[in-house]
Amino acid sequence: GAVVSQHPSRVICKSGTSVKIECRSLDFQATTMFWYRQFPKQSLMLMATSNEGSKATYEQGVEKDKFLINHASLTLSTLTVTSAHPEDSSFYICSARDPLGGNTIYFGEGSWLTVV
């Protein structure tokens, strides 16, 4: 299947700082990418949908000013957690839809964020 890569895989940041996570589709162009978060022993929760060149659509209850999403190119989306707090510590996962691959959605490896 298609490959989606995230970076960094693990990051530790201090409370109050911002951290950026990158999501890249390596072998296809993704007009749509998605960001999820997952707390331990829970399922994935969709945070937002981003379309290349336009503003992201956030799910209800997700603060758009805190979780900044940029989808500037067809192969790259970034999630910036601003003014991070310990409760933002979580597993963040991106995914991308392959429009030429039956519209199948492929997921990245995930990024562990720990805010201390």
Partner 1 sequence: DAKTTQPPSMDCAEGRAANLPCNHSTISGNEYVYWYRQIHSQGPQYIIHGLKNNETNEMASLIITEDRKSSTLILPHATLRDTAVYYCIVRVSSGGSNYKLTFGKGTLLTVNP
Q: Does 90 bind partner 1 (CB under 8 A)?
A: no
66 binds partner 1 (CB under 8 A): no
Q: Which of 52, 82, 99, 114 binds partner 1 (CB under 8 A)?
A: 99
Q: Which of residues 29-48 bind partner 1 (CB under 8 A)?
A: 32, 34, 36, 43-46
Contact 71, 53 (CB under 8 A): yes
Q: Which stretch binds partner 1 (CB under 8 A): 12-20, 28-36, 65-73, 74-82?
A: 28-36
Q: Calculate the CA dihedral of residues 96, 57, 19, 85 and round it to 10 degrees.
A: -130
